[in-house]
C-alpha cells in the first residue's frame, strides 16, 4: 500500500469518525445536555477531512488554513459551553471574549497572508504553520481550563471528552510545530492526521455518551 493510499484511507477514517461523533452528539443535544456546538464542530471537522481526502497529496494552503480556523473556532465554542455547563466557576465571558479576539486576529492574519502573498511557497508554509501552531496552543490551554474547573460529578464523563480533544489538538500542535521548524508540511504526518483524529473522536464520543 502506497503512502498516498494510506493518506486517502486515513482522511476517510477521520471524516467517518467525526460524522459518527456528530450522530452521537445529536441525541445528547436534543435532551439539552450539551450545546449545538458539540454537533456542529464534529460536522465541520468531518467535512474538512472529506475535502482533504481528495487533496491528500498536496493540500492547498489557501484552503487548509481557513478550514482549520473554522473548525477550531467551532471546537472553542464547544469548550466554552462545557465550561459554562459543567465547571465549578461562574461565568466564562472573559475567556469567551479573549478567544473571540484571538480568533478574529488570526483570521485577519490569514487574510493578510493570502492577500499580499508571502513571497515564496516555503515562506507561506511558515506563516500558515505559525497560525496553526497558535490555534493549537490556545486550544490546549482552553481545554486545560475546562477540565481543571469541571465539577467532580461530571469529571468522569468529561475526562474522556477532554482527553480526546487533547489528543486531537496535541497532534495539531506537533504537526504545526514540525512544519514551522522544518519549513514544510511533513507528508507522513499529514497522511496519518485523519487516523489520529479518528482515534480522538472515539474518545470524545465515549465521553459524550456519559454526559448526564
Average pLDDT, the chain: 85
Which CA distances in Å does 124 have to 28, 29, 60?
A: 41, 40, 11
What is the spatial distance between Cα 37 and Cα 42, in angstroms, rounded to a whole number? 9
Distances (CA, A) of 153 to 68, 82, 84, 85: 33, 13, 15, 12
- CA-to-CA dists, residue 162 to 5, 120, 150, 169, 205, angstroms: 31, 38, 11, 10, 11
Least confident of 10-19, 72-81, 119-128: 119-128
Percent of the chain with pLDDT over 90: 41
What DSSP character marks residue 182?
A: H
Q: What pLDDT was estimated at residue 120?
A: 47
For the segment 128-183, what is each residue's pLDDT rounded down to a tens digit?
Answer: 899 999 999 999 999 988 888 887 777 877 889 999 999 999 999 999 999 999 88
> pLDDT value at position 119?
45
- pLDDT for the residue numbered 127: 85
pTM over 0.85: yes
Amino acid at each position: 500500500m502506497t503512502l498516498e493510499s494510506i493518506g486517502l484511507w486515513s482522511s476517510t477514517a477521520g471524516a467517518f469518525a467525526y460524522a459518527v461523533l456528530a450522530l452521537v452528539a445529536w441525541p445528547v443535544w436534543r435532551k439539552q445536555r450539551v450545546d449545538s456546538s458539540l454537533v456542529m464542530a464534529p460536522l465541520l471537522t468531518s467535512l474538512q477531512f472529506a475535502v482533504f481526502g481528495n487533496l491528500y497529496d498536496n493540500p492547498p494552503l489557501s484552503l487548509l488554513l481557513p478550514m482549520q480556523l473554522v473548525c477550531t473556532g467551532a471546537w472553542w465554542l464547544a469548550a466554552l459551553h462545557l465550561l459554562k455547563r459543567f465547571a465549578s466557576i461562574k461565568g466564562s465571558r472573559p475567556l469567551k471574549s479573549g478567544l473571540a479576539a484571538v480568533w478574529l486576529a488570526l483570521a485577519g492574519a490569514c487574510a493578510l497572508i493570502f492577500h499580499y502573498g508571502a513571497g515564496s511557497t516555503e515562506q507561506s508554509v511558515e506563516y500558515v504553520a505559525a497560525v496553526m501552531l497558535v490555534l493549537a496552543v490556545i486550544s490546549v490551554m482552553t481545554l486545560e481550563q475546562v477540565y481543571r474547573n469541571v465539577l467532580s460529578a461530571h469529571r468522569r464523563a468529561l475526562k474522556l471528552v477532554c482527553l480526546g480533544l487533547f489528543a486531537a489538538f496535541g497532534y495539531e500542535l506537533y504537526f504545526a510545530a514540525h512544519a514551522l521548524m522544518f519549513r514544510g508540511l511533513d507528508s507522513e504526518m499529514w497522511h496519518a492526521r485523519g487516523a489520529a483524529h479518528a482515534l480522538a473522536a472515539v474518545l470524545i464520543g465515549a465521553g459524550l455518551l456519559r454526559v448526564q
